[in-house]
Structure 1
Amino acid sequence: MLLWINGPFGVGKTQTAYEIRRRLPGSVVCDPEHIGFGLHRTLPPSLRGDFQDLAAWRQGVYEVLDLALRKHGDGPVVVPMTLVEPAYFEEIVGRLREAHGPDRVRHFALLAERGTVLKRLSERGLGGGLKRDSFAVSRLDLCLERLSGPEFAHHIRTDRLTVPQVADEVARAAGLRLAPDTDGPLRHRLRRLRIGLSHIRFD
């Protein structure tokens, strides 16, 4: 099974994906951003735009996830990635559903109020406030509007949920059973910080 975890930048997609991996033996996280970063590094800086606009990114993501679905038999493939262009969504998620069936390719859009997402953006990683996440802020309203549409269901409101609770909601909707969450508040905070730090880009 593939679990695509969508949502605006900063809503908690990556944290949720790694929480599922932590509590579901055999599951793996496949992050399409790494394909995009590789394409960016290959291009001169003056030509780097939104890597999702590159057909090579969309085809590469499809091929990688198709391979993971066919060959990784130990558990779900968890994909944290913001994807709000309907045509791109159909090109990747739609094709995967056609190839593997809708029951094996599940999509979840994590949503929250604008203020909630802005607060989470300001708190993540090494800090630096919202200036470091100016691209995420500039895209926030578009993401929230697009992802609220029926074509991006299943929707999960996360304003009042912790990361473990969001992971539980995703798993429940997908018919999966996560191991109990035994983290205390301190361990949970340290785990989130470590994941946040490991996903900071400096280029």
Structure 2
Amino acid sequence: MLLWINGPFGGGKTQTAHEIQRRLPGSVVCDPEHAGFGLRRVLPPELRGARGGTPLIEDFQDLVSWRQGVVEVLDLVLTRHDGVVVVPMTVTDPRCFDETVGRLRALGHDVRHFTLLAERETVLRRLRERGFGRLLSYVARGAGPRRESWAVQRLDHCLERLREPEFAEHLWTDHSTVPKTADRIAVLAGLTLRPNTEGALRTRLRQTRVGLRHVRID
């Protein structure tokens, strides 16, 4: 089984994926974003906008090689790995959705898709709490790191598109913690997670480590 966790940047996809992996023996997290950033980094810095230029590729999901590569790799993992595969990845374009999630289903894999949603203010607050407050202030002035700026600028688009029926199952997380969201996904997918016995401080420290490991500097 593959659990595809969709949602906007800052919506809790990665944290939820790692929470499930932590409490579901035999499961693994496979993050297609690694492949996307790898493809972008093949380009010289000036062509990917890393030195202030206009990026040649605005969104790596527009690359056929990314969409095909993600399907090929996940198909391989699902065929060779006995446990559940968890994929945290934002996909808002119906064509890209069909060529990734839809293609994996067509290959015969059991793909359960979930979209984590929250109000705009909730997502922005979570970004600030993760240590991105300064970055958001830069975005408000039209400057700052390109990735965070691009993510915030696309937030309204993501929230609007992901509310469409084709991106169900929808899970609203404004009043939910990461462990509780993981529990809800597990129940809907017919899985049983280990009980969450962590205290609040340990959970916070672990989630901070997860967030730091997934910071992208381009």
Normalising by the smaller structure, the TM-score range is over 0.9
Distance in 1 of aligned mates of 2:162 and 2:196: 28
Structure 2 residue aligned with 1:83: 91
- When the two chains are superposed, the root-mean-square deviation of aligned CA atoms in Å is 1.2
Q: Which runs of 4+ in 1 moved over 2 A?
A: 125-129
Instruction: Give 1:100 deviation, angstroms.
Output: 1.7
Specify the SS of the correspondent of 2:114.
Answer: strand
Structure 2 residue aligned with 1:60: 69
User: Which sections of structure 2, spanning at least 5 residues, go unmatched?
Assistant: 48-55, 140-144
Instruction: Give 1:124 deviation, angstroms.
Output: 1.7
- Which deviates more from structure 2 when the two are superposed, residues 40-49 or residues 185-194? 40-49
Instruction: Give 1:3 deviation, angstroms.
Output: 0.2
Please list, as runs of the form range in 1=range in 2, the aligned pairs for 1:72-151 lying within 5 A after superposition. Answer: 72-73=81-82, 75-101=83-109, 104-125=110-131, 128-130=134-136, 131=139, 132=145, 133-151=148-166
Distance in 1 of aligned mates of 2:164 and 2:117: 11
Q: Structure 1 residues 127 and 197 mapped into 2: Cα distance closer, same or farther (>3 Å)? A: farther
Instruction: Return the index of the structure with the highest Cα Rg.
Output: 2
2:203 is the counterpart of 1:197: no
Distance in 2 of aligned mates of 1:42 and 1:129: 26
Distance in 2 of aligned mates of 1:87 and 1:164: 31
AA paired with 2:29?
V
AA paired with 1:64?
V
Instruction: Give 1:201 deviation, angstroms.
Output: 1.3
Instruction: Give 1:49 deviation, angstroms.
Output: 2.1
AA paired with 1:94?
G
Instruction: Give 1:129 deviation, angstroms.
Output: 3.8
Instruction: Give 1:44 deviation, angstroms.
Output: 2.3
Question: What TM-score comes out, normalization by structure 2 length?
Answer: 0.89
Distance in 2 of aligned mates of 1:87 and 1:20: 28
Specify the SS of the correspondent of 1:100.
Answer: coil
Provide the aligned length of Structure 1 versus Structure 2.
200
CA contact (8 A) 1:123 1:129 kept: no
Structure 2 residue aligned with 1:35: 35
- Which deviates more from structure 2 when the two are superposed, residues 128-137 or residues 21-30? 128-137
Instruction: Give 1:193 deviation, angstroms.
Output: 0.5
Specify the SS of the correspondent of 2:134.
Answer: coil
Distance in 2 of aligned mates of 1:190 and 1:134: 26
AA paired with 2:107?
A
AA paired with 1:79?
V
